[in-house]
A and B are shown apart, each in its own frame.
Chain A
Amino acid sequence: MINWFPPAAIFILGVFLVPFMWGRIRQAYLLLIPTIAFIDLLYMSEGTNYIFNFLGHEIILGRVDKLSMAFGYVFVIMAFIGALYSVHLKGKGEHIAALLYAGSALGVVFAGDYLSLFIFWEIMAVSSTFLIWARGTNASNGAGLRYILIHFFGGLLLLTGIIIQVSATGSLSFDYLGLGSPSSLLILLGFALNAAIPPLSAWLSDAYPEATVTGAVFLSAFTTKTAVYVLARAFPGTEILVWAGAIMTLYGVVFAFLANDIRRILAYHIISQVGFMVTGIGIGTALSINGSIAHAFSHILYKGLLFMGTGAVLYMTGKSKLTDLGGLYKTMPVTFILYMIGALSISAFPLFSGFVSKSIIVDAAKVEYLTTIWILLSISSVGTFLSLGLKLAYYTWFGEDAGIEAKEPPANMLLAMGIASFLCILIGVYPLLLYNLLPFKFEYLPYTAEHVIWTLQYLFFTALCFFVLLKYLALKTYIVLDTDWFYRRGSRAVMWIVNNHMSALGTMLTRFSFDIVPSSLGRFSKNPISFLKITADTLIMTFSSLPYKEKIRRQIMREKEIYPGDIIRHWPIGSTVLWVTLFLLAYLLIYYLYD
């Protein structure tokens, strides 16, 4: 019999006990849940289990193979590190949201069919929004609302694609799909939105910097990497992804350069690094897909570390803008070192995790003779180091001293960062640990002389350029216009039309139908003949020539004055009887003639 639980269940069911615990017990419990999930992972064996029937379809909650296990491991590890980082929080809201978020991400990873995938997908979107709203500022209220609206939109694209798929093929199973039919395009778009492929990426840079200090750590780990997982399962080898990914890498780096908020810089770098993974999926060879998964694994760890480091700066100083920071190396040296480990990892320094994973993708591009892609990826590697390893670190920890008195963050945050750093270095030094988790069998040696020299070469030259050109790289504050300008301005325009014109139209229609029409009918019914006569006279007046116009106008005014007047005077009863008799006679004639 199966001796394991879907890890999603451990997190989601674990949420129910959180309100009943407090203090140290709750803290221990929050760390216990990911630990139990990790042990659970060790017991999981390949295969498909936990099959249920829902809405007339078969849903699979436990599809285990190497691809899903790789993501499962890194998600649970990150959930533990994030829980440790956030264990000092007093309120339970963020903890519940984070647990649901991690749990539903694991649900997506082990889902074997589209329906359960979609259900967990939506739970991820809703729970992550609470991590953004929990910040409590006006900016985070708006950013969170935009975040969830965009994710509902992406979810709708995905849902429509799924339903078209299921009505066309009759099967909900989630396996290789490939881009071919309209439904697969919709599903791809739904996945692409979560993967933050531009132009569907503005939500990431909008919302992640507005999240709480601890929430951003979770956010950086799950949504985009879940999207990478589903893309790797359903769309490997799709050519458009190769180009989309390569452009993404540059897009992220360029916008990161323009950004001022340290966590916004990191958010744009998420887009850039996910671009590497998307390219790897698009190339589609065993080597490149392995590279994407490996890169996702190391990215979760080092990006989490970077967000933890910058989050610590925000938490201890209350500031997050490069223009407001500087000179922190004196007061926060440990944070600085741990941050730099993350920065060196992302820049793919040898001996760090980024080196052993990013190289696989770049090499895969080389092997397939995709020269342009290779060049683009290399340029963005340079940009990544420049932006994160050099510019951000310099202006936050060195640079002009902003005179901020800050201390090191609390022990739990340092410990969490320490664990993440340790893992980054461990994977960098002993990559086989990571390579054994990858879905395809391969032999890859990242530490070749050629490779190490090439990497060190461009990294050191980048550093040289940075320090030489330092005075030209003075910080300016920009407002970066991203693709969200369209829907943010667009929705304001729509609301302007609704508030002014649509409501005016509605008021006018209501007034017309329920005010003017009944009152006109009321006036009419008081003296219909006279009313009709006034109307007829008015018509004659408009169509008659000038001398008569004045005469008729005065007549109309007299008639209106005496309205409703006394009707009986105008119609003697004799003529009424005559008219009625004639009418009945005519009816009689017609009846007999046509019978």
Chain B
Amino acid sequence: MVEIVHSAAPLCAIGVSLVAVILMVISKGYPNLREFWTIGASILKFSIVVSMLPTILDGKVIEYSLYSILPGLDIKFRVDPMGIFFALTASFLWIITSFYSIGYMRALKEHAQTRYFIFFAIALSATMGVAFSANLFTTFLFYELITLSTFPLVAHTETPEAIKSSRRYIAYLLGTSIAFQLSAIFLTYNATGTLEFSNHGILAGKAPDMLLIIIFILFMAGITKAAMMPFHSWLPAAMVAPTPVSALLHAVAVVKTGVFVLLKVILFVFGVDLLSKLGVGTALAYFASFTIIVASFIALRQDNLKLRLAYSTISQLSYVVLAVALLTPGGITASVMHIIIHAFGKITLFFAAGAIYVATRKTNISELNGIGKQMPLTMAAFTIGVLSMIGVPPAAGFISKWYMISGSIEARQIPFIIVIAASTILNACYFLPIVYTAYFKRHDNEIYNEEWRMLNKGYGMINLNSEVRIKEAPPLMVVSLILTAIGTLVLFFWPSLFLELARMVVGGAI
């Protein structure tokens, strides 16, 4: 039996940013004070999560019951290896995103900054809530809270396009989760009488196979935050949001919540044995493979940098789904590790996109000729993020690929190795052209100056400096993206903490 520790730490971790919200409302007119609350809350949240880490690494589990609405429907928190893995990722990246947000918002002199920071804090609270939830009811509650709290963030710029996109965002997310996920939760409760997560699942033997498969399909369709096709369109639509929001949505809060809940359902509601018996693992893996490949092809055709990154995210999220659908130790390790590895890589790429926008107002890849000379640090970090996405050592993406291929071989499923291989090549196809456009195509200044000089050769005029001047984004933004890029490299060389947590997850699941 796993030893259970009762502590209010998970509630504190969730509550810290809610308290910060109140303080932010009070300090509305004082931007620096308001920013101080955000940073303070993020650091405090991360510290609380880290304080829980030793207990979890010891093999124990922290629980806390908040409130019981009805018998069988309680808001209860449990911190287990997978939960703390996700919470560490989310809370650490929130610290960095906060600094980045401050830089971004102030550089662009955005409106409604208080509203922005408030809903950011609420969204992170809800993310912690999902990470620490002990049953499906708590998960669902905080899951919907994330959707609702990120809605004003997506609609932040308040342009007609933003309003339209945010409507689509909420229609997809709320619609599918209430239609499918809620029904699945009802059916689970009906079959088992409980909604608690448990190692080896709660549904084994509790209902006929057909019903179990239907519940599974409803869950998979309902957890739309994992952006599996055909319910993926909310993600590209959400790109109208300011870039720190996209970075958060696509690395930390929304999408990783989706795959996290999906992992929890597969491993701790159904269980590996039940799914192998039902044979749905392979079907899910093929669905995920479809998303991986098709999303990569769509990404190839996008010229807008953020849209290309969005479709890349859709593809990479299905890596997690594919890995866990293999139902082997290697696969489960890969899926858990990919949560943090993709988070660091993708957030670097989005930070770079935002930095490029702030420094040059450019959003399309075809406009980025020679920008590597103008923004060397940003593009260096971008290149490291790209290497991680492709899976090249020494970027951390290699570790995910290693475990995914191991998982496929353990599962004796060769087609998925081909899917991973094709996806690697496709990732290279749509990311590397950005890298060489940035570094090896001639910057407009250089061409302009050269033409000018050729035209004015005979006039003996002053020698125009054809050097492209370095003009990076504000320091807060550049330092953030360098930190996440370094984080990607650090994860490659010292993954042991996260591998240990992943190992504990596998140990619990198999």
Contact of B425 among A55, A134, A152, A502 (CB under 8 A): A152
Tell me, yes or no, whether A349 is within 8 Å of chain B by CB: no
Taking A55-B399, A141-B441 as contacts, is the C-beta distance between A123 and B394 under 8 angstroms? Answer: yes
* Distance in angstroms between the alpha carbons of A148 and B417 in the assembled complex: 20
Interface residues of A in 117-148 (CB under 8 A from B): 118-119, 122-123, 125-126, 133-134, 136, 140-141, 144-145, 148
The answer to whether A122 touches B392, judged by C-beta atoms less than 8 angstroms apart, is yes
Contact of A145 among B297, B392, B433, B439 (CB under 8 A): B433
Whose C-beta in chain B lies nearest to the C-beta of A152?
A: B428
Whose C-beta in chain B lies nearest to the C-beta of A494?
A: B297
- Contact-residue size bin, chain A (C-beta under 8 Å from the other chain): 35 or more
Contacts of A153 in B (CB 8 A): 421, 425
* Distance in angstroms between the alpha carbons of A119 and B392 in the assembled complex: 8
Tell me, yes or no, whether A506 is within 8 Å of chain B by CB: yes
The answer to whether A55 touches B402, judged by C-beta atoms less than 8 angstroms apart, is yes
The answer to whether A167 touches B393, judged by C-beta atoms less than 8 angstroms apart, is no
Contact of A136 among B387, B390, B409, B440 (CB under 8 A): B440
Whose C-beta in chain A lies nearest to the C-beta of B390?
A: A152
Chain B 430-446 against A: per-residue CB contact (8 Å), 1 yes, 0 no?
A: 00110010011110000
The answer to whether B393 touches A148, judged by C-beta atoms less than 8 angstroms apart, is no
* Distance in angstroms between the alpha carbons of A133 and B435 in the assembled complex: 10
Contacts of A141 in B (CB 8 A): 436, 440-441
* Distance in angstroms between the alpha carbons of A160 and B401 in the assembled complex: 10
Contacts of B297 in A (CB 8 A): 498, 502
Contacts of A145 in B (CB 8 A): 429, 432-433, 436
The answer to whether A55 touches B499, judged by C-beta atoms less than 8 angstroms apart, is yes
Interface residues of A in 70-101 (CB under 8 A from B): 93
Contacts of B441 in A (CB 8 A): 136, 141
Taking A149-B428, A153-B425 as contacts, is the C-beta distance between A167 and B409 under 8 angstroms? Answer: yes
A interface: dominant SS: helix
The answer to whether B301 touches A498, judged by C-beta atoms less than 8 angstroms apart, is yes
* Distance in angstroms between the alpha carbons of A93 and B394 in the assembled complex: 19
The answer to whether B394 touches A119, judged by C-beta atoms less than 8 angstroms apart, is yes
* Distance in angstroms between the alpha carbons of A156 and B416 in the assembled complex: 13
What's the nearest-Cβ distance from chain A to residue B380, in Å?
Answer: 10
* Distance in angstroms between the alpha carbons of A156 and B436 in the assembled complex: 22
Contacts of B230 in A (CB 8 A): 509, 513
Interface residues of B in 365-401 (CB under 8 A from A): 387, 390, 392-394, 398-399, 401
* Distance in angstroms between the alpha carbons of A473 and B439 in the assembled complex: 42
Tell me, yes or no, whether A159 is within 8 Å of chain B by CB: yes
The answer to whether B387 touches A126, judged by C-beta atoms less than 8 angstroms apart, is yes
What's the nearest-Cβ distance from chain B to residue A193, in Å?
Answer: 13
Contact of B409 among A133, A144, A163, A498 (CB under 8 A): A163
Contacts of B409 in A (CB 8 A): 163-164, 167
Contacts of B417 in A (CB 8 A): 160
Tell me, yes or no, whether A575 is within 8 Å of chain B by CB: no
The answer to whether B440 touches A133, judged by C-beta atoms less than 8 angstroms apart, is yes
Contacts of A123 in B (CB 8 A): 392-394
The answer to whether B405 touches A163, judged by C-beta atoms less than 8 angstroms apart, is yes
Contacts of A125 in B (CB 8 A): 392
Contacts of B429 in A (CB 8 A): 145, 149
Contacts of B390 in A (CB 8 A): 152
Contacts of B499 in A (CB 8 A): 55-56
Tell me, yes or no, whether B300 is within 8 Å of chain A by CB: yes
Contacts of B301 in A (CB 8 A): 498-499, 503
* Distance in angstroms between the alpha carbons of A163 and B394 in the assembled complex: 18
Tell me, yes or no, whether B127 is within 8 Å of chain A by CB: no
Tell me, yes or no, whether B410 is within 8 Å of chain A by CB: yes
* Distance in angstroms between the alpha carbons of A125 and B424 in the assembled complex: 15
Tell me, yes or no, whether A51 is within 8 Å of chain B by CB: no
Tell me, yes or no, whether B318 is within 8 Å of chain A by CB: no
* Distance in angstroms between the alpha carbons of A141 and B230 in the assembled complex: 35
* Distance in angstroms between the alpha carbons of A134 and B435 in the assembled complex: 12
* Distance in angstroms between the alpha carbons of A495 and B296 in the assembled complex: 12
* Distance in angstroms between the alpha carbons of A145 and B432 in the assembled complex: 7
Taking A55-B402, A145-B433, A167-B410 as contacts, is the C-beta distance between A498 and B300 under 8 angstroms? Answer: yes
* Distance in angstroms between the alpha carbons of A152 and B387 in the assembled complex: 11
Chain A 459-502 against B: per-residue CB contact (8 Å), 1 yes, 0 no?
A: 00000000000000000000000000000000000010011001
Contact of B432 among A148, A499, A509, A510 (CB under 8 A): A148
Contacts of A159 in B (CB 8 A): 401-402, 405
Whose C-beta in chain A lies nearest to the C-beta of B432?
A: A145
Taking A133-B440, A145-B433, A503-B301 as contacts, is the C-beta distance between A167 and B406 under 8 angstroms? Answer: yes
Chain B 9-49 against A: per-residue CB contact (8 Å), 1 yes, 0 no?
A: 00000000000000000000000000000000000000000
Taking A133-B439, A134-B440, A498-B300 as contacts, is the C-beta distance between A163 and B402 under 8 angstroms? Answer: yes
* Distance in angstroms between the alpha carbons of A141 and B421 in the assembled complex: 23
What's the nearest-Cβ distance from chain B to residue A20, in Å?
Answer: 14
Whose C-beta in chain A lies nearest to the C-beta of B414?
A: A160
Contacts of A513 in B (CB 8 A): 230
What's the nearest-Cβ distance from chain A to residue B390, in Å?
Answer: 7
Tell me, yes or no, whether B490 is within 8 Å of chain A by CB: no
Tell me, yes or no, whether B141 is within 8 Å of chain A by CB: no
Interface residues of B in 213-246 (CB under 8 A from A): 230, 233
Contact of A160 among B233, B405, B410, B428 (CB under 8 A): B405
Contacts of B401 in A (CB 8 A): 159
Tell me, yes or no, whether B298 is within 8 Å of chain A by CB: yes
* Distance in angstroms between the alpha carbons of A133 and B436 in the assembled complex: 7
Contacts of B432 in A (CB 8 A): 145, 148-149
What's the nearest-Cβ distance from chain A to residue B411, in Å?
Answer: 11
What's the nearest-Cβ distance from chain A to residue B423, in Å?
Answer: 10
Interface residues of B in 293-322 (CB under 8 A from A): 294, 297-298, 300-301
Whose C-beta in chain B lies nearest to the C-beta of A168?
A: B409
* Distance in angstroms between the alpha carbons of A136 and B439 in the assembled complex: 9
* Distance in angstroms between the alpha carbons of A80 and B200 in the assembled complex: 60
Contacts of B421 in A (CB 8 A): 153, 156, 160
Name 4 extra pairs, CB < 8 A, besides A119-B393, A502-B297: A122-B392, A145-B432, A145-B436, A167-B409
Closest 6 CB pairs of A and B: A119-B393, A156-B421, A133-B440, A163-B405, A122-B392, A498-B297
A-B contact pairs, 30 of them (CB 8 A): A55-B399, A55-B495, A55-B499, A56-B499, A122-B392, A122-B398, A123-B392, A126-B392, A133-B439, A133-B440, A134-B440, A136-B441, A136-B442, A144-B436, A152-B390, A152-B425, A153-B421, A153-B425, A156-B420, A156-B424, A159-B401, A160-B405, A160-B417, A163-B405, A163-B406, A167-B406, A499-B301, A502-B297, A503-B298, A503-B301
